[in-house]
Structure 1
């Protein structure tokens, strides 16, 4: 959706922010390579996802896709056993990678392999237990139990490969070589989707469609481990050795315990919505909601993949200890995210409904108030990245009470709201917890424990920037009303309308933010003065 502008703008922002915070040339190259690979596969995946979604809905039906989404969310519950360990290992690996301590790296990966194998057995046992309750979870589906059980255990088997075989891939991420994982995994996903489309179109067979999920997991595992052995020929790991060395690295469990709670909170925030929606509505509504989140999540993936590549550089910047420069970079990254979030949110509000109608049909369109709630959630998600990067850079994981509070707020509001208002009530749960914890607490925590200064400056600027985005949005909404352009008439009309409103909103928002947001002005200056790209020299 209106991707050319977003992609170009985001890539320029990435180039600028990475050059500002990365004094090390090799890390700069790795960050940019990660971003380029992510961008390439993002565009390919985005195009294919829209075609495949339509084929799957037409042939398999909304009920089957809703069943598949719900089963994957049940699998997500089982994966709670892992949350935090991968991130903790990545954090622990950073120093030995910097020092090129190969022996210590082998030990840490061995420990990780041991922990992951234990988790794999826990998930296997839990999945067998959960399988006993599948008839009660899906009492009124049009599908027989054999297809439900086949899909469930296929998804479980595919997931378990990561725990028993693919644990070494964490080293690639910690070493800023995540582009290797992305290239092989996304290639396998694209091939799988193409095969699924072909098989569904010609056979309409549910079992073949599901079987390709496991085939993807096996193929990806073989290729990934072959590549890891090429990149790190010296990497020798033993699961038994990991069990012995486990006590040698107590920091792994320390960070894991803290990060586990935070990851759990994120899981509840983003992954339980389809299951709750199914509980209070139906599988069809889950599929309808999935159409909208497909668009939202693809754009969020683009923003996070590109701007998230600066995360390691933020850690280096904080290590330098220059508080003035640290806050200067923070406001640049936050200003960039604010402008991007405003443009995307306005475009989504104006363009999503006609796009769904053209893409899938008017019967798949949800009410505008549902779209508004989805966009509010997405806006907070787009803008939170800068705060999260700096909290991680400072190692501020110990606010576990906030993560627990976020889970409680989300579930309480979603359960009450879902029982009263259905889909909109479930979405209110996520929005409430995001506003209180992500929107209010996290900035305060960063300023008080990280920057060690008053958060008042943050809120003054936040309200100022948000007001500009809202005023410009209201102005453009009425001046460029859809009734003047008929975006529902055809994709050509939709594309014309998308271009006009995006360019207009972007130009007005950028112009106003340029005069009130020093971060936007600084980013613009570096675009125009190439010499400033070498600020660290």
Structure 2
């Protein structure tokens, strides 16, 4: 890997990890303050509204991912005209989308408070929707195309740094407002206004550092496969957002709140792993654009192994520790039963499946194989919806977790098979071996750690439990991987020692 590539990858990975760490810390602080000040039903309402506003991301039909893929080649070739044409076409699309968002918000303001009129009056819900929607609008109107350009150019660290600052400012502002007795509407309005700063900064940065011809004309659409990203994007939303919407429509706001508390931890862990891959897609896209297939094969082999091993370690510890953490986090809140061990196990495995599919999904996105993979995304989406709705009445939280789990297993296996046959000629038996190692690791490490007790309901006791669990899992992961992947372990160890020696 070239020196410049390596530096960009390192910068993107480090700032992305810092962003996820900041997001996780803020994600624990702000919802806990809301729970303590306003109760489980208001927390459930906030999460439900956020999920319904998230539906608007469906309307970009995956164009964001296609835009980023379209930019790899012109950026690699420094083709300024092509970059400008793609930028202008994408900007027009997302500005139209922002207007559709306004129309959707108006409909939501009228309909949602009537649907959810179980516990809150009309104006309480309507004003909360208005406060939350500002950040969604600003993302599409000001910031999204600039984010995609920076990501494609391996400069994601610019926007990650800006986002870290806005998250810190938001956490401080929310804590002050809640302490002073501000309403939930005021808290969420402040959040939206602070998050407006990031897209405005990106507008300024791109204008200063990129020579984009915003008046350029084009006779044919510069973004190929513009509509073929729909299935991937739609499925990604459904797999990530169906649970909250199904619970809102067919269950209770208390269950939405319980789900959201577990999801704080799960999303934090998942995003920490996702942040490790933020620089990979643009790097793989550049290798494919330059037809560096041997380099790509070698690089992908390590990406697959590292993500599988990291996912097994991190999500394995999460599965053991999740209920203990929720017990501590919700201590003193007794308006809902937050201790749900079976749900915790299922939702952990389902989201681990999402991370295990990452290397294969990254390859599909980087190669721009949208049209070819639509059937897989459609089937996974239908599976999740049908199973979740069919089982939520019987098993509540567990039912929606089963729907997500089944869809994730199907999609992960299908993607690995597709990549091995159509993009990288990667042996599928290697994927099966990797999954076997993952399962063996989880079984042995779970048996070794599931009886480690939480000595008291406090963060200090949970931290001691977490350290003990993590050390046990780390030792077992290292031993099993050294047995089955000795060459990769040795290479990684030598590379780490070399870097420390240079330092």
Q: TM-score, normalised by structure 1?
A: 0.86
1:490 aligned partner: 458
Distance in 1, matches of 2:267 and 2:437, equals: 24
Displacement of 1:476: 1.0
Distance in 2, matches of 1:273 and 1:526, equals: 42
1:420 paired with 2:394, answer yes
1:373 aligned partner: 346
**Alignment check: 8 A CA contact 1:158 1:214 kept:** yes
**Secondary structure at 2:187's aligned position in 1?**
helix
1:513 paired with 2:486, answer no
1:345 aligned partner: 315
291-300 vs 77-86, which moves further: 77-86
**Alignment check: 8 A CA contact 1:370 1:424 kept:** yes
- Across the two proteins, how many residue pairs are aligned to each other? 496
1:17 aligned partner: none
Q: 1:453 to 1:284 in 2, by over 3 A?
A: closer
Q: 1:407 to 1:45 in 2, by over 3 A?
A: closer
**Alignment check: 8 A CA contact 1:472 1:509 kept:** no
1:178 paired with 2:151, answer no
- Superposition map of 1:108-507 within 5 A: 108-141=86-119, 143-166=120-143, 167-232=145-210, 234-238=211-215, 245=218, 247-250=219-222, 252=223, 254-318=224-288, 326-361=296-331, 363=334, 365-397=338-370, 398-438=372-412, 440-452=413-425, 455-459=428-432, 461-477=433-449, 481-483=451-453, 486-507=454-475
Displacement of 1:161: 1.9
**Alignment check: 8 A CA contact 2:327 2:457 kept:** no
Displacement of 1:432: 1.0
Distance in 2, matches of 1:454 and 1:29, equals: 30
1:96 aligned partner: 74
1:47 aligned partner: 25
**Alignment check: 8 A CA contact 1:336 1:520 kept:** no
Distance in 2, matches of 1:416 and 1:514, equals: 43
Unmatched 5+ stretches in structure 2: none
1:215-259 Cα offsets, whole Å, 9 max, x none, are 124333433322333323x33424xx5xx53x4235x2x423222
Distance in 1, matches of 2:244 and 2:473, equals: 32
**Secondary structure at 1:203's aligned position in 2?**
coil
Q: 1:264 to 1:280 in 2, by over 3 A?
A: same
Q: 1:521 to 1:382 in 2, by over 3 A?
A: farther
2:9 aligned partner: 31
Distance in 1, matches of 2:293 and 2:70, equals: 25
Distance in 2, matches of 1:210 and 1:291, equals: 18
1:14 aligned partner: none
Unmatched 5+ stretches in structure 1: 1-22
Distance in 1, matches of 2:488 and 2:256, equals: 40
Distance in 2, matches of 1:409 and 1:184, equals: 38
**Secondary structure at 1:258's aligned position in 2?**
coil
Distance in 2, matches of 1:107 and 1:323, equals: 28
Displacement of 1:336: 1.4
1:318-340 Cα offsets, whole Å, 9 max, x none, are 45667665444333222212221
1:302-356 Cα offsets, whole Å, 9 max, x none, are 1111233222232344456676654443332222122212222221122222222
**Alignment check: 8 A CA contact 1:158 1:217 kept:** yes
267-276 vs 143-152, which moves further: 143-152
